[in-house]
Structure 1
Amino acid sequence: MSSHVKLRKERGTIAECETQVKEIRSQMAEQLKSLDLHVEMRVQLLQDLSEFFRRKAEIETEYSRGLEKLAERFSSRIRNSKEPQHSRKEQDLLSSVSCWHLILNHTRQESREHAVLSDTYSNSMVVRLCHITEDTGRLSKKSKDIGLQMQEQLLKVTSELQTAMKTYNQYHTDSMNAEGKLKEVEKLEERHMGKSADPGLGQSGVDAKQQRSSTLKKMERLKEKRQAKFLENKLKCTKARNDYLLNLAAANAAMNKYYLQDVCSLIECCDLGFHLSLGVTLRLYLSAQSRVQQSQQEAVGVLEGAVQGLDPPGDQKKILEMNHTAFCLPFRFEYQPHEGDQVCVVSAEAQVRNELVTRFQQLQSRLSSVSLETEEVNKTMKATLKALLDSFSFEDFSSSDSLQTSQSAESVKSSGSDPPGNKPNIAKRRANQQETESFYFTKVKEYLSGCSLISKLQAKHDLLKEAIEKAEGIDSDPSRLQCSNRSLRVRKQRPCSQYNHKLFTGDLQQFVESSGQLIPLVVESCIRFINLHGLHHEGIFRVPGSQSEVNEIRNAFERGEDPLTDLTDHNIDSVAGVLKLYFRGLEKPLFPQEKFQELVECVQIENKLERACHIKKVVGCFPQAVLIIMRFLFAFLNHLSQYSDENMMDSHNLAVCFGPTLVAVPLDQDAVSVQPRVNEVVKTIIMFHEKIFPGARELEGPLYEKCMTEEEEYW
């Protein structure tokens, strides 16, 4: 009868755990439904905004045409007047007629402004809202995939906990049964021992005594056998209980990590860039309205406050509050002792201590390596997130240049539309944005998985550490990680020649002649530093550095010092920023403006080798001092592009960074439309620098060396 009671209790404990797991599964499903509903509401909002601005564009177009017709009707009356021409000219001098003409001119201007508003609404804003809608759907799908993966991992942990719990219950039952059988043998032995003490008579008594002695020996062998069986089952029970407790700690740690951190990370991924993109779009609407509707400043101010009030953390908090039941942390898994078992901690008894120590050491090593890997992933994820948020906030549509006066409404509409070549740029930027998104979500998944693994490993690690320390009776900290000291490579500072011209914002040729530096110290030192420490640095020249550090390095170079010779702990992005700042600030750009048109025309040549030959002819006319620096710089950029698999900066990306820096677009040309051709010229020079620039025999001067050292000299 007692065995049935025990079985019912055991089944009740397991059923209670299974019920809790089922509730968690249901809660997770409700979480995904809540996130899907949140995305659907957001998409509906974007669709309503798109339809609203599309309809408003039609109204603005009709209003613009009405104003144009109104102004043209009265202007034609003036032109078709029967009065002589000289008489009309005299009347134009009258203040009343001047006011009338001003009114007509103002009406035409107002018509053009509303035409621009219509174009801004129907093209820029509607297109951008469609892009945000696409981004929302795509990002929500990726976030949901990550959420499903994290839920699967969490459910796997609970499944392991259930299995460990069942194993523990089974082994504990076997241990109790073995103990009961051992006690039965001991009682039976005691009874036989009592009988053997009674005195016997005659020959028959001697035979009976021998028979009882034989029975006692059998009983002793049976007792030893059951004693061994009991010890074996007890050891199995101890191991199973330890495993159950470890899985219990891991499950609770994973549960805390998921509900308190991972859920927020998933919501952040769903919201990624939405507030920034929507804010930029609505600011475009505000800009257009504020230029033509000064009388509505109060309403514009209210909307501006709403736009400024876009608050991702606040929205995230509201989502959690609105769905409190779905996202609240469940109750902790409590330890369920089996049949009155009083042991509720990891046991480090002598029989299992060596096994636990080995397991602890393995956990410690694994925890250390996973922590380092996760930290590196975290750094990459943060850098990628910054670049991704910058792409979301990039203002590729603007109405500031569209509201300028022009001779006709058609010309104004043309200027208000995307300039030639801008749409391909937008498509390319969006393609790069989606590529960055995929990379970022990959890192998010790796980071969340790493953090979850760390939390589980840490929970087991702490339990094992406490058990081992209690067993050994010492206060040690074996989990302390040894940090290796980083050796600094220091090279001697080379004295800088005295010069009389500015380094930054100065004339390059005059500086070279005055200082005697064929390669300016700032160029040589920055390139050497990047060669030594930054060839593998992801996003170099694309990710901005610290402005304060850039200013500090720049001021040191201006004083004739070399701040990059003492320590190697300067930020790579800041050093790269100094190099770009130097070329961008030159009084005369590195590429002479008089050769600009010849250079961009070379892009029309489809064969890249032929294009490089034509560029070589144009570059060959540059001053010798400029050629030496360009040869040095582009050899370095080519070397840097060879590590694009690691630094994500191929020749195209480097050209995009250095094109606007090295080549100044003349004022009489449209910078937006011509910039892609400029970048293509720079890209070609990076790829074919050896064919374009003369060698050491043809042009004496320092050459860029791929294998640099701290104390290498170039002159």
Structure 2
Amino acid sequence: MEAGANRGGLEGELIARMAKRQERKRQELLALALGVKLGSKGTLLWKPIKLLASCPQISSPVVRRSALKDTPEKLSSYEKIHNFKVHTFRGPHWCEYCANFMWGLIAQGVRCSDCGLNVHKQCSKLVPSDCQPDLRRIKKVYSCDLTTLVKAHNTTRPMVVDMCIREIELRDGEKADISASAYADINIIAGALKLYLRDLPIPVITFDLYSKFIQAAKLPNAESRLEAIHEGLLQLPPAHYETLRYMMAHLKRVTTFEKYNLMNAENLGIVFGPTLMQPPEQNALTTLNDMRQQKLVVQLMIEHEDVLF
């Protein structure tokens, strides 16, 4: 009883802290809907905006959560850098950034292998991160950069993740068919999902944020751990965040059928920890030393999915 009360108090404090951050997001969302900008000139308009925010229709937790979750799914926010490779052009070619001629017989410039943009090598350092992948250039689904794939297919998450999770959930819990023929099939589907996540060139929890999540798991205070994990989640690229959010919601549902599938949050953390987060140096010793923290990060994200995402 005491442990439950402490856990409830912890989640309550964390929700209060996160609510302050989300308040600013809600203000920006309302300002955007009214066509105004927040700032020195927008302060005069802030009072009516604040009154609007207090309306039941807007402040409803369900509507507010839906609005906030829809915001990162806008494809325009899925920023992606170009994937330039040295290229030899046949015939005259002009740089699509500076509009100057590309001189030389070989290796005159670089071409983005995802969208086909042709520029000088020196101009490639100045091109903004506005790559719009062309589906005709994306030759594979597995081992393809996550953001590249979702932008090419005009989706918020990889279709592999959606398709596999939908099929797995159709067979979970009391509906699970554990006969020999069906059992092998569901393992194949689950294996396909894990293989896709494991083969991503950049893991769902990106290399540059790996150490931040590992250090968060090492914090002795439970509240600080959750706060640090939440901070890390906010720094993920939108496509990675949305994929992780969808995965954690699915795994949270899996745990509700623990008596059938024997998979609680800790067991799922052991299974998915090394899949969702990998050390950038790919060192076996580092991976072994970090396994406990990897497991704990995923376990906490599952247990507190409704608070962290």
Report the TM-score, using the length of structure 2 for normalisation.
0.51
Mapped to 2, the partners of 1:499 and 1:533 lie a distance apart of: 35
Mapped to 1, the partners of 2:255 and 2:159 lie a distance apart of: 23
- Among candidates 162, 168, 173, match of residue 524 of structure 1: 162
Judged with a 3 Å threshold, the aligned counterparts in structure 2 of structure 1 residues 536 and 647 are, in CA distance, closer, same or farther, namely farther
User: 2:157 is paired with a residue of what secondary structure?
Assistant: coil
Is it true that 1:626 corresponds to 2:279 in the alignment? no
Report deviation, 1:670. 2.0
User: Does the 8 Å CA contact 2:172/2:257 hold for their aligned counterparts?
Assistant: no
Report deviation, 1:534. 2.6
Report deviation, 1:629. 1.1
Report deviation, 1:531. 0.9
Report deviation, 1:628. 1.1
| 1:305-349 residue CA offsets vs partner (Å, 9 max, x unmatched) | xxxxxxxxxxxxxxxxxxxxxxxxxxxxxxxxxxxxxxxxxxxxx
User: 1:517 is paired with a residue of what secondary structure?
Assistant: coil
Mapped to 2, the partners of 1:591 and 1:655 lie a distance apart of: 14
1:686 corresponds to: 302
Matches within 5 A, 1:44-55: none
Stretches of 4+ aligned residues off by more than 6 angstroms: none
Mapped to 2, the partners of 1:536 and 1:672 lie a distance apart of: 36
Is it true that 1:589 corresponds to 2:227 in the alignment? no
Mapped to 2, the partners of 1:523 and 1:616 lie a distance apart of: 22
2:204 maps to amino acid: L
Judged with a 3 Å threshold, the aligned counterparts in structure 2 of structure 1 residues 580 and 573 are, in CA distance, closer, same or farther, namely same
1:514 corresponds to: 152
Mapped to 2, the partners of 1:628 and 1:663 lie a distance apart of: 15
Report deviation, 1:648. 0.5
Report deviation, 1:574. 0.9
Report deviation, 1:500. 3.6
1:402 corresponds to: none
User: 2:220 is paired with a residue of what secondary structure?
Assistant: coil
Matches within 5 A, 1:172-211: none
Is it true that 1:677 corresponds to 2:283 in the alignment? no
2:194 corresponds to: 580
Mapped to 2, the partners of 1:635 and 1:655 lie a distance apart of: 14
| 1:204-254 residue CA offsets vs partner (Å, 9 max, x unmatched) | xxxxxxxxxxxxxxxxxxxxxxxxxxxxxxxxxxxxxxxxxxxxxxxxxxx
Structure 1 gap segments, 5+ residues each: 1-496, 547-567, 694-715
Mapped to 2, the partners of 1:520 and 1:582 lie a distance apart of: 10
User: Does the 8 Å CA contact 1:656/1:679 hold for their aligned counterparts?
Assistant: yes
Report deviation, 1:613. 1.6
Percent identity at matched positions?
27
Mapped to 2, the partners of 1:643 and 1:660 lie a distance apart of: 23
User: 2:279 is paired with a residue of what secondary structure?
Assistant: coil
Matches within 5 A, 1:35-74: none
1:618 maps to amino acid: G
Across the aligned residues of Structure 1 and Structure 2, the Cα RMSD in angstroms comes to 2.7
User: 2:149 is paired with a residue of what secondary structure?
Assistant: helix
Matches within 5 A, 1:259-298: none
Mapped to 2, the partners of 1:583 and 1:660 lie a distance apart of: 10
Report deviation, 1:570. 7.2
1:504 corresponds to: 142
Is it true that 1:600 corresponds to 2:238 in the alignment? no
Mapped to 1, the partners of 2:225 and 2:248 lie a distance apart of: 17
User: Does the 8 Å CA contact 2:251/2:302 hold for their aligned counterparts?
Assistant: yes
| 1:174-230 residue CA offsets vs partner (Å, 9 max, x unmatched) | xxxxxxxxxxxxxxxxxxxxxxxxxxxxxxxxxxxxxxxxxxxxxxxxxxxxxxxxx
1:620 maps to amino acid: L
Judged with a 3 Å threshold, the aligned counterparts in structure 2 of structure 1 residues 655 and 618 are, in CA distance, closer, same or farther, namely same
User: Does the 8 Å CA contact 1:599/1:615 hold for their aligned counterparts?
Assistant: yes
Report deviation, 1:571. 1.1
Report deviation, 1:569. 8.9
| 1:255-282 residue CA offsets vs partner (Å, 9 max, x unmatched) | xxxxxxxxxxxxxxxxxxxxxxxxxxxx
User: Does the 8 Å CA contact 2:143/2:200 hold for their aligned counterparts?
Assistant: yes
Report deviation, 1:609. 3.7
Mapped to 1, the partners of 2:162 and 2:234 lie a distance apart of: 23
User: 1:518 is paired with a residue of what secondary structure?
Assistant: coil
2:46 corresponds to: none
1:611 maps to amino acid: R
Mapped to 1, the partners of 2:222 and 2:136 lie a distance apart of: 41
User: 2:200 is paired with a residue of what secondary structure?
Assistant: coil
1:252 corresponds to: none
| 1:354-378 residue CA offsets vs partner (Å, 9 max, x unmatched) | xxxxxxxxxxxxxxxxxxxxxxxxx
Report deviation, 1:592. 0.9
User: Does the 8 Å CA contact 1:591/1:662 hold for their aligned counterparts?
Assistant: yes
1:203 corresponds to: none
1:272 corresponds to: none
User: Does the 8 Å CA contact 2:255/2:265 hold for their aligned counterparts?
Assistant: yes
2:170 maps to amino acid: L
Report deviation, 1:535. 3.6
Matches within 5 A, 1:178-257: none
Report deviation, 1:686. 1.1
Mapped to 2, the partners of 1:656 and 1:536 lie a distance apart of: 24
Mapped to 1, the partners of 2:267 and 2:158 lie a distance apart of: 25
Report deviation, 1:537. 8.3
| 1:478-517 residue CA offsets vs partner (Å, 9 max, x unmatched) | xxxxxxxxxxxxxxxxxxx956422101111111111112
Judged with a 3 Å threshold, the aligned counterparts in structure 2 of structure 1 residues 684 and 528 are, in CA distance, closer, same or farther, namely same
- Among candidates 659, 666, 675, match of residue 280 of structure 2: 666
User: Does the 8 Å CA contact 2:249/2:302 hold for their aligned counterparts?
Assistant: yes
Report deviation, 1:596. 1.2
2:169 maps to amino acid: N
Report deviation, 1:577. 0.5
1:650 corresponds to: 264
Judged with a 3 Å threshold, the aligned counterparts in structure 2 of structure 1 residues 513 and 615 are, in CA distance, closer, same or farther, namely same
Mapped to 2, the partners of 1:675 and 1:569 lie a distance apart of: 28
- 1 or 2, which has the higher helix percentage? 1
Is it true that 1:534 corresponds to 2:172 in the alignment? yes
Report the TM-score, using the length of structure 1 for normalisation.
0.23
1:510 maps to amino acid: T
Structure 2 gap segments, 5+ residues each: 1-133
1:516 maps to amino acid: N
1:638 corresponds to: 252
Judged with a 3 Å threshold, the aligned counterparts in structure 2 of structure 1 residues 661 and 499 are, in CA distance, closer, same or farther, namely farther
Equivalenced residue count is 171
Judged with a 3 Å threshold, the aligned counterparts in structure 2 of structure 1 residues 672 and 691 are, in CA distance, closer, same or farther, namely same
